[in-house]
Amino acid sequence: MAQKKQEGSETPADGPLAAGEARPSSECTSLQSRSAALHPPEVSGWVLYASDGRSASFKALMQRAYEDYVLGGPRLTNLNALIRINVLNAMANNATRMGFTSPGLCDDDHISPYSLLGPPPPQQPTLPSPSCPECLLPTAVQKRLSHHPWIDLLPFPRFRDNTILGIEAGLLDEDELCMDISELPDTVKDRNPTLIVWGEPWNCRAWEVTPDFLRKWGWLLRGCPEILEATNYWRMTRGEKKLIFDPRF
């Protein structure tokens, strides 16, 4: 999937992390400023889970990050949790734009309304809503194959199709992928593959994939050059080396 290292200031996605790959404190500060309640999201990601325990953990992490930020001492130990909180906030806000009912949307027993057969229930509004951005409109695959709605909330149509088709073919563990993207880490040292959000959640160029995510799930990004371009843009703004991707992407 990824090529070997070439000359220049680039790091291959499938090779060892470059020296100093651990994210610097300046990035921690930036992420915390985006996650802190000084600029709260339209919809908080905790509503995606109906479980009281998970919602409580989410809100406790948000409160702790906010207090650290206000006191002028954002902690690197909060970084992994804040990355996932940003992703959950982004997914919840995309759900709202699409016209989905957010509460409990990521619970295990939900099925995407796009793939439900027959007419929608009388109380359900027409989906997607008129405010739905183009990149979040359902694809033919999303309409044809039953799947969990968390997949619908990511603004990468080809990634959504690749994921649904991979699940249908038994090529991936959906729960494992979902946990890598959105599950809050058990410890501050957890460094699972994940995504990072830097801007408007419906804008695919506001997202970044981590090298760990690319190594593990890179095959799901085939046909998604916008994600790969955005990733290198954000890495370069931090002074980090670009990732080299297989040109077949």
pLDDT tens-digit readout, 73-82 = 656 666 777 7
Query: Above pLDDT 70, what percent of the chain?
Result: 57
Tokens of 132: 């739905």
Computed over every residue of the chain, the mean pLDDT equals: 74
Please state the separation of Cα 31 from the chain's center in Å: 14
Average pLDDT over residues 148-160: 95
Give the number of other CB atoms < 10 A from CB of residue 119: 7
Q: What is the pLDDT of residue 96?
A: 87
Query: Token match 């370069």: residue?
Result: 236
Give the global pTM: 0.74
Q: What is the pLDDT of residue 53?
A: 56
pLDDT tens per residue, range 14-71: 433 333 334 444 444 444 444 433 344 454 544 455 555 556 666 676 676 666 656 6
Dihedral sign for Cα atoms in the order 59, 149, 50, 213: negative
Query: Above pLDDT 90, what percent of the chain?
Result: 36
Q: Which long-range contacts (CB under 8 A, 24 or more apart) does 182-188 make?
A: 182/45, 182/48, 182/84, 182/87, 182/88, 182/91, 182/106, 182/150, 183/84, 184/54, 184/57, 184/58, 184/61, 184/81, 184/84, 184/85, 185/80, 185/81, 185/84, 188/77, 188/78, 188/80, 188/81
Residues near 58 by Cβ (< 8 Å), separated by ≥ 6? 44, 45, 46, 49, 85, 88, 184
- Sequence-ordered alpha helix ranges (H) in 102-237: 140-144, 157-168, 174-182, 211-217, 225-237
Most confident of 7-16, 60-69, 183-192: 60-69
Average pLDDT over residues 223-234: 94
Please state the separation of Cα 141 from the chain's center in Å: 20
Q: What is the pLDDT of residue 168?
A: 95
pLDDT tens per residue, range 94-131: 988 998 876 657 677 778 888 876 555 555 667 888 88
Q: What is the pLDDT of residue 191?
A: 59
Instruction: Give residue limits of the domains in the chain.
Output: 10-105+137-244
d(CA 148, CA 181): 14
